[in-house]
Chains A and B, each alone.
Chain A
Amino acid sequence: MKKQGDEELNGMPGRHPLSSLLREDRMPHIWCPGCDIGTVFSSCLTAIHESKIDYNNFAMVSGIGCTGRAAGYIKLDSFHTTHGRAIPFATGLKIAKPRMKIIVFSGDGDLFTIGGNHFIHAARRNIDLTVICVNNFTYGMTGGQVASTTPFNSKTSTTPQGNFEKPFNLPYMAAAAGAVYVSRWTTLHVRRLTGSIVEAFNKKGFSFIEVVSSCPTSFGRRNKLGSPLDIIQHFHKISVIQNGIHPKDANLDISKEIVVGKFVDTEAPTFFDLLEKIYPPEM
């Protein structure tokens, strides 16, 4: 069966293969050369295409930060909200439009540092959102400050001698709070990441994908991680696929080991299932 946008994938010289999902009139984008957000964004667009779901049934909500700019580049109904509040905004939108697929596409600082409380509550409610977190370990937009995801002892502009706090394990938090689908990939694992996003779209309930990414311009530079290509090669060297392990054991140590894979894929009644159980629609 022919999919939406297939004619473009078959090649129109000079245009992006997913141009029907891109606001081409907003190019060039603001992301730095070598930044990984574009890789994750492309995976998301490819997943939308691969899912065979009508494009009009998708909407994207972002918060603030480098990753938060994604909503401004996707040619779907898209909302660029306040810092940390993409998930509650998406919650309201989803309740108003229960049949639509709502993608929350944002960064680690936005979703887990300022917005952490909203994340755990949306997971607890098991509301049907697909949350994609580009985790680049830092606040890129403001020049590379420490976040709740910054590895211990890493250098940032506000931890010049090294971070003295411990970071969150995002998949563990998501699973503990009630997410029914949890995976982690790096920006090296494009094919698996794309497949994971398609699975998440088709999952009923709250799904979460962490994408370990690089920010060569600030986090990478301060921590002497090398060029964008060096970082990807490093991801290749140290990442280990361990599908199905308990997310508390999903180690993320950027100097030694990055455990990736699908950690949670389970069924649980969603926000709407339970709402309808208590308040049947015919009431």
Chain B
Amino acid sequence: MSLSHDQVRRIARLARIDIVAEESRTVLERLNRVLGLIDRMRSVDTTGIEPMSHPLELVQRLRPDEVTQADRHELYQSVAPAVEQGLYLVPKVIE
């Protein structure tokens, strides 16, 4: 199936990616080519086949609920765009 401009705008909003007007035609055209490729798999009959989510069919390993890492927030926040008193700064959300 082919996407419309409105659908692409909706997907881009979900993905939090701004698409400027000049590029929207190219984005739509190339996305539709990719969807044309992946649509080839939709018609295959997969009745009774279990989905495979791990290539070795393993489940996630669990660990004891114990503290194993030291507090390194200063180091990790040293690469953040804006930090104050150990907090990440973002534009005001609530007036």
Mutual binders A and B: no
Which B residues form the contact surface with A (CB < 8 A)?
none
Give A contacts to B, CB under 8 Å. none
